[in-house]
Structure formats: C-alpha cells, structure tokens
C-alpha cells in the first residue's frame, strides 16, 4: 500500500502577498493582473471569499461582491521563488516529489515515512516549516494514492490536515459529489449527472460497460475513480535518466538540397523518434537536428521547449523549423538526424477529449521564466489532462498595491 501526500498552499498568491506585507493580514485581498485593464481574480484571501469572490471571476464582478477588497497586482516572480523554496522543504522527505501546479505537489513517502515517524508527522513538520519560513499556511491530504490525497487535502481548507485510510476509502467516497474528484470537470459531471450518477459511490457501483459506451476508454478510469482506485505514480520532477536521448538518422539515397525531399525525410525520422519515445514511456523537451553535408561537415542545432514532446508531428514541426533556419542551401545534404533529449519519464495519458497532459510544473515555471510578465496556471487532472482555467495575465509593471 502506498502513502501519498498532497500539499496545497492556501490562497497562495494572496498568502504570499500578506506574508510580505503583514498590514494586509485579515483584510479581504484580491490578487489580479493589471487592475486597470480587463483582468480576473487570480487568488482571493479567505476573507474575500466570504463575500463570494472566487479565482477566475472578472474583477468587476468581484468588486461588486466585495467593494472593500484590497487589490494587488500580482508579482509572478515572487510566487515562483516561494514555490521553489517550498519544494526544497518538501524534497527533504522523499525523492518522489511531483509539482502538480505552482502551489500543489504530491510526495510519495511510502519508503521514507518510517524515517520521520510516519506520514502524519511529515505533514505536520512540513506545515510548521512552511509557516515559520514563509508565514503561510497549507492544506495537506494523506492517502494511498494521488487521487485520494488530492481529495483529502481539500477536506478542511485552510490549514487542514486529513487522511483517508485504506479501509475507509469507500465509506469516505460514498457521498462525495463526483465533481470533487480531480479529473471530473464540468462537462463530465453533466454527462454523469444525466446518467443519474451524482456521488462517487454511485459512480463506483455503475456498470463499467455502460460507462465505456459513453466515455470510451475513460469509462473504466471514471469507474476506478469512483472506487478510489488510482495507480498513477508520483512523477519526480528531476528524472535522472540513464537514457539521455532518442534519435534516428539516415543517409540519403542521393545527396540533395531539395527542401521538400529533406522535409519528407525529417517527418519520417521524427515519427520514428516519437514512436520510440512513446513506446518506452519517455518524452523530452529538446529537439536536435543533425545535418551532414556532402563533405562530411556535420552540424547540430537544437531547440528546447517549455514542455515535453513525444509525438512525431510535434518533433517534425520543430526539426523543420530548425532546418529552414540553418540549412545552407548552396550545399548538398548527405545525412539528416533527429533526436529528442532532456528526457523525463511518465505516462502521457490522454484525457477524454484527447487533450495532452502537459507537465504542469515545467509549464508553469518555464512560462514564467521565458516570458516574465505573462503568467498562466494550468491545472491538470491527475489521470488525464487539465483544462485551462481562466488565465490571468500580469503586466510588467512593478507590483502595486491599490487601496480603494
Ligand atoms: N491561479 C490563477 N488563476 C486562476 C486560478 C489560480 O492565477 N484562475 C493562481 C493563483 C492561486 C494559485 O494559482 O493563488 C493557486 O490556485 P488555487 O486554485 O490553489 O487557489 P489558491 O491557492 O489561491 O486557493 P486555495 O486555498 O483554494 O487553494
Ligand atoms: Ca492552493
């Protein structure tokens, strides 16, 4: 039986702001993008939530509900720094640490909990350290898998700590509305409700075949979810892989500089690389193109993405762009090679609607690093992919506090 911890920072952006300016403590606080533009609520303090203010809500509506709210234009860099520092604390308790979004992480402590007096002690210690170091609170769930630990962390927010014991799983799930499970979004909920399924208990007892008829492969996953079954592993962020890259190269039948022909070969190579990556359960962020000219002079060029690739077409698109940029068209090409490196391992599972699961950590952090000033948080589901919530863009302007 595994022991998984899910940790979720309470009102994360708002808490970080309050921690850096304690005079805000106890006030209804809204962190948003540029308050003078069209923006939405990114994070609302619990005091603001009492008035009905929620993340994703337009600022105008939020202010109608809570006219006295203090507005703060968010500073993404501050949240990323805090997030990374918090991660460091969490990583003291297990190597199996997965950042699920900027302020949520899973920790598999199955093999390490005994070193710290059990998962509960770990949770309490993490809470204490985060409070002492950052003056912010978090909510923690402990359970035999990710699905249930994420559910449990929401049981008594803010500053909560809840555990779902293996023998209590079904009892706990029985009356919980299906949409509280991570991965059951609005659309799925509606379809399930129409089928007469409102609670997890009902979902777990529903005929799998009927669910499969409606949801295809997803049917079984939903059924499992209703029973609290989730085998997905905690994907560690830093995957120290022995395999460093996957690549293919080919010597052309005849040296050529015909772009159409070269692209055709690139597509074929990219498809091969993608297939091998997927077969071995890898994806990678760096695409490298190797060009050898007729005189054996060999060049390699690469591009690194903020997310992982494992599909031929994506790899091809990137390789083709590199080729277009770097190819010396006055020379004949003898060999082409495509490889993908910067690998991480983990199932890239399809969601119901065929969307891809992007590594939320990489995405969140890289997007901010690459284009500071724009910030988006993608919330994934554990098993499939997440749908994008409202994106709150932050301007480049310095953090301002607007008192109204
Ligand atoms: N976020 C955002 N835009 C959204 C939702 C969230 O920019 N539409 C950002 C701001 C949040 C952070 O992501 O502080 C974490 O999102 P959560 O949904 O976990 O919200 P909070 O941490 O603010 O609150 P909670 O205490 O409910 O976890
Ligand atoms: Ca949170």
249 within some domain:
yes
Are 70 and 399 contacting, i.e. CB atoms less than 8 angstroms apart? no
Ligand 2 centroid, distance to 135 Cα (angstroms): 15
Place of tokens 């106890």: 26
Burial call 93-103: b when 16+ CB within 10 Å, e when fewer? bbebbbbbbbb
For the domain that residue 304 is a member of, what is the CATH number? 3.30.1490.100
404 within some domain:
no
400 within some domain:
no
C-alpha to C-alpha distance for 315 and 1, rounded to whole angstroms? 38
**β-bridge mates for residue 284, sequence order:** 309, 343
- Which phi and psi (to 5°) does residue 286 adopt? -115, 130
Our answer on whether the CB atom of 8 is closer than 6 Å to any ligand 1 atom is yes
The three-class DSSP label of residue 152 is helix
Instruction: Give the nearest ligand 1 atom to 104 CA.
Output: 19
The three-class DSSP label of residue 128 is helix
381 within some domain:
yes
Counting the structural domains of the chain, the total is 3
Both 34 and 97 in one domain: the answer is yes
**Tens place of pLDDT per residue across the chain (404 aa):** 999 999 999 999 999 999 999 999 999 999 998 777 778 899 999 999 999 999 989 899 999 999 999 999 988 889 988 988 898 899 888 878 888 888 999 999 999 999 899 999 999 999 999 999 999 999 999 999 999 999 999 999 999 999 999 999 999 999 999 999 998 988 899 999 999 999 999 999 999 999 999 998 889 999 999 999 999 988 775 433 345 788 888 888 889 999 999 999 999 999 889 888 888 888 999 999 999 888 877 788 999 998 899 989 999 999 999 999 999 999 999 889 999 998 887 644 433 223 333 344 444 444 444 433 223 333 334 443 223 333 344 433 333 334 34
How many Å is the Cα radius of gyration of the chain? Answer: 24
Both 83 and 190 in one domain: the answer is no
Query: Domain boundary at 129, 146, 163, which?
Result: 163
> Apex CA 90: angle with CA 89 and CA 95, to 5°?
120
Both 127 and 177 in one domain: the answer is no
Both 338 and 305 in one domain: the answer is yes
Both 317 and 385 in one domain: the answer is yes
Say whether 104 is catalytic.
yes
Q: 272 lies in which domain range?
A: 245-394
For the domain that residue 88 is a member of, what is the CATH number? 3.30.70.270
Ligand 2 centroid, distance to 93 Cα (angstroms): 21
Both 37 and 142 in one domain: the answer is yes
Both 159 and 175 in one domain: the answer is no
Active-site hit among 17, 104, 163, 367: 104
**Residue 123 CA to its chain's centroid (Å):** 22
Both 109 and 4 in one domain: the answer is yes
Question: Residue 373's pLDDT is what?
Answer: 29
Both 268 and 308 in one domain: the answer is yes
Our answer on whether the CB atom of 62 is closer than 6 Å to any ligand 1 atom is no
236 within some domain:
no
List C-alpha distances in Å: 290 to 301, 305, 335: 7, 18, 8
345 within some domain:
yes
Our answer on whether the CB atom of 43 is closer than 6 Å to any ligand 1 atom is yes
Ligand 1 centroid, distance to 239 Cα (angstroms): 27
Both 79 and 145 in one domain: the answer is yes
Q: 42-48 long-range CB contacts below 8 Å, 24 or more apart?
A: 42/13, 42/74, 42/392, 43/11, 43/12, 43/13, 43/14, 43/15, 43/74, 44/11, 44/14, 44/69, 45/11, 45/14, 45/15, 45/18, 46/10, 46/11, 46/158, 48/14
C-alpha to C-alpha distance for 161 and 171, rounded to whole angstroms? 19
The three-class DSSP label of residue 402 is strand
Query: Domain boundary at 116, 131, 163, which?
Result: 163
Are 333 and 291 contacting, i.e. CB atoms less than 8 angstroms apart? yes
From the CA of 31, the nearest ligand is: 1
Nearest of 97, 93, 150 to residue 124 by alpha carbon:
93
C-alpha to C-alpha distance for 185 and 108, rounded to whole angstroms? 25
Best mutation site among 42, 47, 160, 379 for ligand 1 pocket (most ligand atoms within 8 Å of CB): 42
Q: Beta 161-163 vs 97-101: how paired, if at all?
A: unpaired
233 within some domain:
no
232 within some domain:
no
Both 377 and 265 in one domain: the answer is yes
């Amino acid at each position: 039986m595994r022991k998984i911890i899910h940790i979720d920072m309470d009102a994360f952006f708002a808490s970080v702001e309050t921690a850096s300016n304690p005079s805000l403590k106890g006030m209804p606080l809204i962190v948003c993008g540029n308050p003078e533009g069209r923006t939405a609520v990114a994070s609302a303090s619990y005091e603001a939530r009492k008035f009905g203010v929620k993340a994703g809500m337009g600022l105008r509506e939020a202010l109608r509900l809570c006219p006295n709210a203090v507005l703060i234009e968010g500073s993404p860099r501050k949240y990323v720094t805090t997030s990374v520092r918090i991660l460091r604390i969490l990583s003291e308790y297990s190597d199996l640490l997965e950042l699920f979004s900027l302020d949520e992480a899973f920790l598999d402590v199955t093999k390490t909990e005994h070193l710290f007096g059990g998962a509960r002690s770990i949770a309490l210690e993490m809470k204490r350290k985060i409070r002492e170091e950052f003056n912010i609170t978090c909510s923690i769930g402990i359970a035999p898998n990710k699905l249930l630990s994420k559910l449990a962390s929401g049981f008594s927010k803010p500053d909560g700590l809840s555990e779902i014991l293996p023998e209590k799983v079904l009892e706990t799930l029985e009356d919980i509305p299906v949409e509280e499970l991570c991965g059951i979004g609005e659309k799925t909920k509606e379809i399930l409700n129409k089928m007469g399924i409102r609670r997890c208990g009902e979902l777990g007892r529903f005929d799998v075949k009927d669910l499969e008829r409606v949801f295809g492969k997803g049917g079984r996953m939903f059924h499992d979810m209703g029973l609290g079954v989730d085998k997905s592993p905690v994907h560690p962020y830093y995957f120290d892989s022995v395999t460093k890259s996957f690549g293919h190269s080919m010597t052309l039948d005849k040296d050529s500089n015909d772009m159409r022909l070269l692209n055709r070969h690139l597509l074929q190579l990219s498809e091969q690389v993608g297939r091998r990556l997927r077969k071995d359960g890898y994806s990678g962020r760096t695409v490298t193109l190797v060009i050898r000219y007729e005189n054996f002079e060999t060049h390699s060029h690469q591009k690194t993405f903020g997310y992982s690739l494992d599909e031929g077409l994506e790899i091809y698109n990137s390789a083709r762009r590199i080729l277009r940029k770097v190819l010396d068209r006055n020379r004949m090409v003898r060999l082409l090679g495509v490889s993908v490196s910067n690998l991480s391992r983990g199932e890239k599972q399809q969601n119901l609607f065929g969307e891809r699961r992007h590594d939320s950590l990489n995405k969140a952090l890289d997007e901010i690093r690459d284009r500071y000033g724009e910030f988006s948080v993608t919330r994934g589901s554990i098993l499939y992919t997440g749908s994008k919530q409202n994106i709150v863009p932050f301007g480049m302007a310095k953090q301002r506090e607007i008192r109204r």
